Amino acid sequence: MAFIKKNTPTVIGNDERGLVRDYVGLINQLTDADPAARRWAARDLLLYPQATAALVARLQVETDISVREIILTSLTRLGGEIAVTGLVDCLRSEDAQMRNEAIEAMKALPDEVAPIMGGLLIDADPDVRIMAVNILESLRHPKVEEWLIDVIDHDPIVNVCGTAVDLLGEVGSVAAHDALQRLKQRFAAEPYIQFATDLALKRIVKA
């Protein structure tokens, strides 16, 4: 296979990719009126790690779902701090689908997401905290149980704690027993917390 320098312009066939495929050309095509051109640009920018910031910026304004999917795929493959920061910003979007897409993308970046998870779990926005717990579900990090215990011990919002308890019921061990009992006492008047905590305790005992 012939080696092509990254910054060497390349023309590909007579199709929707038949444009100059160098870095500058691809960046320009991220704003093309044609969604197909934007999809190809987002995919081909994988060749350029320095494109992460441009992909993040495009993600913030992209309205075509198919283009967003490609941008998110490229960001998860490129990884890095800029990609993760951009995905965190998406968690604050008013677009529910954008938030869900960002959650799924962050699940695919466990090494990059783990260092910021502590901050997400104490974010001022309880919705962000709930989404952070949802990300933990697939993070496969040794501190997942520790993070969840901290949530149910300190978070003041019942919905956040309820989400954490649900996950603890799946991944928790006897190490979570005392924290679960404390949660039952703290939210004694909340039927769902009582139910979910009892269920988690039973699963821990059987494990």
84: domain CATH number? 1.25.10.10
* Predicted confidence (pLDDT) at residue 3 exceeds the cutoff of 80: no
Q: State yes or no: pLDDT of 36 exceeds 60.
A: yes
Give every CB contact of residue 15 below 8 A, 6+ residues apart in sequence. none
Average pLDDT over residues 57-75: 96
Residue with the bigger pLDDT between 4 and 80: it is 80
Whether residue 63 is found in the same domain as residue 158: no
Between CA 131 and CA 201 the distance in angstroms is 23
Burial of 58 (0-12, 13-18, 19+ CB in 10 A): buried
Q: Are residues 54 and 22 in the same domain?
A: yes
Residues 200, 194 contacting (CB under 8 angstroms): no
The reply to whether 137 and 51 lie within a common domain is: no
Please tell me whether residues 61 and 143 are part of one structural domain.
Answer: no
Per the structure, how many domains does the chain have? Answer: 2
Pick 165 or 10 by higher pLDDT. Answer: 165
Q: Are residues 160 and 190 in the same domain?
A: yes
> Does 102 lie in the same domain as 2?
yes
Same-domain pairing of 9 and 100: yes
Q: Is the dihedral of CA 77, 78, 79, 83 positive or negative?
A: negative
Do 10 and 44 lie in one domain? The reply is yes
Q: Does pLDDT of 1 surpass 70?
A: no
Query: Could you tell me the sign of the dihedral formed by the alpha carbons of 59, 65, 71, 74, in that order?
Result: positive
Give the residue carrying structure tokens 């926005």: 125
CA-to-CA distance for 37 and 28, rounded, in angstroms? 10
End-of-domain residue from the set 52, 87, 108: 108
Instruction: Give 117-152 pLDDT, tens digit per residue.
Output: 999 999 999 999 999 999 998 888 899 999 999 999
Judged against a pLDDT cut of 90, whether residue 11 lies above it is answered with no
Provide the whole-model pTM.
0.84
Going by pLDDT thresholds of 50, 70 and 90, the confidence category of residue 9 is very low
Band (39; pLDDT cuts 50, 70, 90)? very high
pLDDT score for 140: 80
Pair 6, 103 in one domain: yes
Residues 22 and 16: beta-carbon distance below 8 Å: no
> Sorting pLDDT into bands at 50, 70 and 90, what band is 21?
confident
- Contact status, residue 200 vs residue 169, Cβ threshold 8 Å: yes
Q: Rounded to whole angstroms, how far apart are CA atoms 122 and 128?
A: 9
Q: Do 120 and 104 belong together in one domain?
A: no
Q: What range does the domain containing 74 cover?
A: 1-108
Same domain, 131 and 150: yes
Chain centre distance of CA 53 = 17
**Same domain (yes/no): 177, 98:** no
Q: Identify the domain boundary among 73, 108, 143.
A: 108
pLDDT on residue 141: 87
Give the end of a domain, one of 77, 108, 139: 108
